[in-house]
Copies of this chain bind each other. A is one copy, B any other.
Amino acid sequence: MGKQTDMGRILANLPLFQQLSADEIAGLAAGTREIRLSKGRILFQKGSVLEGFYVVARGQVKLAFSSPQGNEKVVSIVGPGQSFGEAVMFMEKPSPVFTQALEDSQLLYIAKYSLFAAIDRDSAFARRMLAGLSIRLHGLIEDVENYSLRSSTQRLIGFLLQLAEAPTGGPVVLNLPASKHVVASRLNLTPETLSRILHGLAEAGLIEVKGRAITVLDIEGLSRLDPPPRAG
């Protein structure tokens, strides 16, 4: 036991694999290996071809691309229970992004053949996989929407409200999921702009900032500045 059953337990707890049987989990676990990644380490470079995908068990990694001019843009901050690399694996094309650990992390690498076996055995699982990719796709569409028709301030507010994730009116304390530098990049801002916006919102009495901890004082007020997408 030990390693093997640990992996089984982690796998079984992933949203994606929630509904698999013990047998199926065991099958996946056989094609899975553990990877430890210390802070700052690159997992794979842009251009890599993946023969499997990854799940974060502990820690945090970022997916990002870099321009020839050396700028870097964080596409995604991936935390425990979340996976990445599926699309690149299914496509069999070079990855458009690279992956770097933001903290010391523990990942699981699940081999393609092992996942395919699960898909072949269980079409409900295949559907769940499709739904998973669809959600990812939806997220990217939202990003595109944010970048193209919302201002810096609106993007930040949207981000904060998502973290706050509480429809209550009262003050909510939240922690930025990463350094301001990384958060800024994720929101397509410079660190300077992020700092100024946070200052401005604090000035306006809408939030309080203490390092990475942000207290949302007035969700209503923030929402008013952040025209939420109305259905219809």
Contact = CB atoms under 8 A, between A and B. Distances in A.
A188 interface: yes
Contact of A87 (B93, B138, B231, B232): B138
A20 B131 CA distance: 22
Interface in A129-148: 129-131, 133-138, 140-145, 147-148
A17 interface: no
Contact of A68 (B119, B131, B188, B230): B230
Copies assembled: 2
State the main secondary structure of chain A at its contact with B: helix
A50 B227 CA distance: 25
Given A96-B138, A96-B141, A46 B232 contact: yes
Q: Give the interface residue-count category, chain A.
A: 35 or more
Nearest to A232: B47
A25 interface: no
Contact of A131 (B91, B96, B227): B91
A149 interface: yes
Interface string A31-56: 00000000000000111000000000
Given A45-B232, A67-B149, A126-B130, 15 more contacts: A73-B148, A87-B137, A88-B138, A94-B231, A96-B142, A96-B145, A116-B127, A123-B123, A123-B126, A129-B130, A136-B137, A137-B137, A140-B143, A144-B147, A147-B147
Interface of A: 45-47, 65, 67-69, 71, 73, 75, 86-94, 96-97, 116, 119-120, 123, 126-127, 129-131, 133-138, 140-145, 147-150, 188, 227, 229-232
